[in-house]
Amino acid sequence: MNAAAEPLFAATGLGKLFGGVVALDKLDLQVFPNQILGLIGPNGSGKTTFFNVATGIYPTSEGRVRFDGADITNFSPQAVYRSGISRTFQHSRLSLSLSIFDNIMIGNHMHLNQGLWFNLVTRKAFRRQFEENFEQARTLVKVFDPPLADLMFEAVEGFPMIDRRRIEICRALISRPKLLLLDEPSAGMTHEETSELMGDILEVKERLRDLTIIIIEHQMDVIERITDSCVVLNFGQKICEGTYQEVARDPQVQQAYLGIE
């Protein structure tokens, strides 16, 4: 990372209150272009709350959020999406009865012409848009798993969890975001599936060179393998920041997260 580089995303003094409960406590966090930042901490430490505030699902109680040079504090989720931030959720939000292609296109509505005239009258243009989007979605799925790319019109309910996670990540990537937020992508998977999916993510990161990622994970071997740096939260506060090796040696982290006295 270039020390002179400007952060792509920066939270400054970010706070979130739920009644009298402090979920985020004056959090300062930066991620630089093309970085993979790991966000770790015990359950209830504020990780997903941070994602929800950053993407406009929750309004911030205090502090500011800047992305790609603009202040996006308290933007709506739609405006955050249009600015170039996309995310996945810990619990699957796929429409199981829909096909792989349909699920991925849900994440691409910003780039689709949804006008009545376009869809009913200009059939050649509609077909051209469909073909372009299908090829884009299929190419993205093929990076994750080539056999899956041959099943684009199959309902996702018939696929195992690892393929569902792949589809969710493709849905988040189809809008070509600059920043991807991954909320525990390994949830519900075996160790072998998790290792395979992390390899997929690294492959996507290699191919999409302008992509920056923040990943929430509980599995420390995942964090060690794929992140450039880590931020550790506890009770909504940042208690440590650095490489995985640096944060793993920190006594506060060992006590709060790793359970070491």
Residue of 232 and 126 predicted with greater confidence? 232
* Residue 259 banded pLDDT, cuts 50, 70, 90: low
Coil, helix or strand for 168? helix
Contact (Cβ atoms closer than 8 angstroms) between residue 139 and residue 86 = no
* Residue 261 banded pLDDT, cuts 50, 70, 90: very low
92, pLDDT greater than 50:
yes
Distance CA 19, CA 21 (A): 6
Contact (Cβ atoms closer than 8 angstroms) between residue 180 and residue 173 = yes
Residue 113, both tokens: 């012409």
Cα-based distances in Å from 106 to 126, 127, 136, 167, 184: 17, 18, 14, 11, 21
Would you tell me how many other CB atoms lie within 10 Å of the CB of residue 259? 8
Coil, helix or strand for 63? strand
In eight-state DSSP terms, residue 88 is: -
Phi/psi of residue 70, each to 5°? -120, 150
Phi/psi of residue 140, each to 5°? -65, -45
Distance CA 85, CA 62 (A): 21
* Residue 219 banded pLDDT, cuts 50, 70, 90: confident
Contact (Cβ atoms closer than 8 angstroms) between residue 85 and residue 66 = no
Would you tell me how many other CB atoms lie within 10 Å of the CB of residue 111? 14
pLDDT tens digit sequence for 178-215: 999 999 999 889 999 999 999 999 999 998 888 999 99
pLDDT tens digit sequence for 144-184: 999 999 999 999 999 999 999 999 999 999 989 999 999 99
In eight-state DSSP terms, residue 189 is: -
Least Cα distance to 173 among 255, 105, 117 occurs for 105
Q: What is the pLDDT of residue 230?
A: 95
Residue 48: beta bridge partners? none
Least Cα distance to 34 among 218, 199, 227 occurs for 227
Query: In this structure, are strands 62-67 and 70-71 parallel, antiparallel, or unpaired?
Result: antiparallel
Q: Residue ranges of the domains in the chain?
A: 1-84+177-261, 96-176
Exposure class string for 118-139: b at 16+ Cβ within 10 A, else e? eeeeeeeeeeebeeebeebbbe
**Mean pLDDT of the region 93-103:** 94
CATH number of 1-84+177-261: 3.40.50.300
State the residue for tokens 């075996």. 190
122, pLDDT greater than 90:
no
89, pLDDT greater than 50:
yes
Query: In this structure, are strands 85-87 and 179-183 parallel, antiparallel, or unpaired?
Result: parallel
**Mean pLDDT of the region 30-54:** 95
Contact (Cβ atoms closer than 8 angstroms) between residue 90 and residue 97 = no
79, pLDDT greater than 90:
yes
117, pLDDT greater than 50:
no
Give, in degrees to the nearest 5, the angle at Cα 24 between 229 and 166. Answer: 50
